[in-house]
Structure 1
């Protein structure tokens, strides 16, 4: 189980670097979508010995939401706004990659000193969650386009979701479903905000929000 778990989390961490290093919004959205699908499969790996219909249902809902519905909405917003690239980010792509790589290495190193349960000490579960949360913050802070910042929010949520799976045996599966529902509602709200920004400024550059006044 640990090998499969580490493979899925390792791949998800790899897509962090792709998200940090690309200026093309379609690539960023697809990276977030694939990452969501990989993480959505983790409950099946963690509970392979005790599968039931609720676990399969939440897995399908998570994969469909993170891998299909939300990316479709973002791509539609991107096309409506007629933008394909993130230009002039607050934090450049090379510095973003270096920050992401350094944060990932630091997360793996720090995990050795944390008082983890034996089943969590020998895999990438905890460092993966920390790396995803850090990547999400870098995208939220370092990008200017609203869609890029939404992708940062999604990666941040992926990290929180991964951390929550540490308690999958002690928390009801409905809690994870509630998290997925919150994210979906949040994306709908963000989609409305993106649309309003585009209508008001004919751009999704959030720096133009500083021009707002009473």
Structure 2
């Protein structure tokens, strides 16, 4: 089980950098789905089968399908023009990874709570999600960044999951699902009203 957890953490690290490096919304949604599958695999390796199934259903299937349908309805372009250069975003993500690894080495009592590499992976996922939010110009890609950041927070709470706290995590998953569902509807209405969902165009507004 420990080797399976470490493999999932390593693939999640690579997935984070790939999400920062892609400029195609289609691949960004696919990588989001893969991230949900990896989270479910980690929970399964920690013997949280019920929560793993919920994560696989919500984060690995329902949310990506909602994002996919929204993309098709908006007729969004395949390539996105990021506000932050792709190379700069990837380098920032790698810098967050290095900082997280340094922080893990500095915390003495950490091994008693977190399995190896879990804390740096969680912090890097959270940081990469924030980079997507501030570095991309379309509302749909920023929603994906929000989901990515929430996955990092979810990873931070993973070692604290016991029989009593599991239901809190399930409630949190449902809250996230409802929030993204509402954001998807909002983005759909924006797309039906305006020609573009590029948030950078708000700077061209005049009184």
Fold agreement, TM-score > 0.5:
yes
* Larger displacement relative to structure 2 (18-27 or 5-14): 5-14
TM-score (norm 2): 0.92
- The match for 1:156 among 135, 145, 149 is 149
- For residue 44 of structure 2, what is the aligned residue in structure 1? 44
| Residue matched to 1:89 | 82
Shift of residue 206, structure 1, vs aligned partner: 1.4
Shift of 1:118: 2.7
Shift of 1:210: 4.7
SS of match in other structure, 1:88: coil
Is residue 136 from structure 1 mapped to residue 125 from structure 2 by the alignment? no
Residue 41 of structure 1 aligns to a residue whose secondary structure is helix
Specify which of 97, 113, 117 is matched with residue 106 of structure 2. Answer: 113
Map of 2:28 onto structure 1: 28
Query: Is 2:6 the partner of 1:13?
Result: no
Conserved in 1, the CA contact under 8 Å of 2:16 and 2:125? yes
- CA displacement at 1:211 relative to structure 2: 6.0
Contact 1:86 1:143 in 2 (8 A): no
Q: Which moved more, 1:202-211 or 1:8-17?
A: 202-211
Structure 2 spans left out of the alignment, 5+ residues: none
**Given that residues 112 and 121 in structure 1 are in contact (C-alpha distance below 8 angstroms), is that contact kept between their aligned partners in structure 2?**
no
Q: Matched residues in 1 for 2:102 and 2:110: separation?
A: 16
Per-residue Cα deviation, 1:127-181 (whole angstroms, up to 9, x for no partner): 0110000000000000001111011011101101100102113752101101110
Correspondence for 1:174 among 142, 167, 173? 167
TM-score (norm 1): 0.89
Q: SS of 2:76's equivalent?
A: coil
Corresponding residue number in structure 2 for 1:187? 180
Residue 27 of structure 1, CA deviation = 0.4
SS at match of 1:112: helix
* Conserved 8 A contact 1:201-1:208: no
CA displacement at 1:209 relative to structure 2: 3.9
